[in-house]
Amino acid sequence: MSCQITTDPAIAAEVIRRGGLVALPTETVYGLGANAWDGEAVARIFAAKERPAFDPLIVHLPDIGAINQVATSIPAKALRLAEAFWPGPLTLVLPKQPAVSDLVTSGLPTVGVRVPRHPLMRAVLELAGVPIAAPSANRFGRLSPTTAEHVRDQLGDRIDLILDGGPCPVGVESTIVFIDGDAATVLRPGGLSNEAIAEIIGPVDIATGSSDRPAAPGMLASHYAPHTPIEIVNTPPAVRRGVRWGLLQFTPNNADGYAVIETLSVHGRLEEAAANFFAALHRLDHAGLDHIIATPFPEHGLGRALNDRLRRAATR
């Protein structure tokens, strides 16, 4: 049985206030939201996603003014980033208020905080009047959802409601930044480019995680994984007869014999490619293919986040 779907943020806010689990549209990907102050509701997020307890949740706020509810302080560089990019696809890792439960932060002394830009998500935050803890609304390790249908397919029988806000315009998760004194580190590349961040606060470090020590908890080498095997190659090979292969490409290539081809941006625009990325992967994964070939993105702007997601999708 599948849950109810609505387009009314007031209904979504009411379910959140009553301790329910609601999938919410954000500009990056759909989140699985619950009242961050309600321990039982937060615990249900982990259960619904089959998410391990070591992987902390991002807390969403209506505006920068709400930050002292969840963080004890905000370093100068973090404040400048918040003022420049909120509401938007930026998560700041800040020292947490004791009121934020260890379940939300996986016992860390810090909390990930974001003010999202999507109008429906903002309406829910205003109407619910509580911070909303929300990871991406997919089963743990699986493809992130950028439409209400993606959420329904993975979690429809485990949650109370989906708020349908249409396809997510950015399409990749937020960029996570940790500021320690004067040092700024990008823990996860995402919908806000490193170049844009550097314009506001100068050069940033890029955390290089390994499989046993990820850059941020929960950032495992294998993630965003479709069921069909994916291989990343610079030039798509011709496909031999008798097999069904799919191609995920940034811009058009000469490609022969592919059963399904997903081209993310005909004119090579990374923003357009990001907005199409997860939906294209979901379609390829449902096309009954033996194998998916993917071409890499240029390693700048949103291309960095897309290459990161692609590598994790290709790792098993």
Residues 62-81 that bind ligand TXA (CB under 6 A): none
CB-neighbour burial class of residue 253 (10 A; exposed 0-12, middle 13-18, buried 19+): middle
Task: DSSP for 276-304, please give it.
Answer: HHHHHHHHHHTTT-SEEEEPPPPSSTTHH
Binding-site member from 9, 20, 25, 31 for ligand TXA (CB under 6 A)? 31
Would you say 112 and 92 are in contact if contact means Cβ atoms under 8 Å apart? yes
Which of 15, 78, 93, 100 binds ligand TXA (CB under 6 A)? It is 93
Handedness of CA 144, 150, 156, 161 (dihedral sign): positive
Q: How far is the CB of 4 from ligand TXA (least distance, A)?
A: 20
Q: Which of 9, 20, 56, 301 binds ligand TXA (CB under 6 A)?
A: 56
91 binds ligand TXA (CB under 6 A): yes
Q: Does 136 bind Mg ion (CB under 5 A)?
A: yes
Paired sense of beta strands 58-60 and 110-114, if any: parallel
Residue whose CB is less far from ligand TXA, 134 or 264: 134
Contact 175, 302 (CB under 8 A): no
The answer to whether the CB of 148 falls within 8 A of the CB of 16 is no
Stretch that binds ligand TXA, among 85-93, 229-237, 263-271, 308-316 (CB under 6 A): 85-93
Q: By CB under 6 A, name the one of 9, 13, 20, 28 that touches ligand TXA.
A: 28
Residue choice 38, 160, 164, 173 for contact with ligand TXA (CB under 6 A): 173
- Exposed (0-12), middle (13-18) or buried (19+): which is 102, by Cβ within 10 Å? middle
Q: Where are the beta strands (DSSP E) in the chain?
A: 4-6, 22-24, 31-35, 58-60, 90-95, 110-114, 132-133, 161-163, 175-180, 183-188, 205-206, 230-232, 245-249, 260-263, 291-294
Shortest reach from residue 152's CB to ligand TXA, in Å: 16
Residue 201: Cβ within 10 Å count: 17
- Nearest CB to ligand TXA, comparing residues 89 and 303: 89
Least Å from the CB of residue 177 to Mg ion: 17
CA atoms within 13 A on the CB side of 108: 20
136 versus 174: smaller Cβ distance to Mg ion: 136
What's the min distance (Å) between Cβ of 159 and ligand TXA? 14
Q: Smallest gap, in angstroms, from Cβ of residue 262 to ligand TXA?
A: 22
Q: In this structure, what token pair is assigned to residue 55?
A: 């992987």
User: Judged by CB under 6 A, does residue 275 bind ligand TXA?
Assistant: no
Q: How many CB atoms lie within 10 A of CB 157?
A: 10
Using the rule CB under 6 A, which residue among 131, 135, 165, 301 binds ligand TXA? 135
Which residues make up the interface to ligand TXA (CB under 6 A)?
A: 26, 28-29, 31, 55-58, 89, 91, 93, 105, 108, 110-112, 114, 134-136, 173-174, 176, 187-188, 216-219
Which residues contact Mg ion (rule: CB under 5 A)? Answer: 136
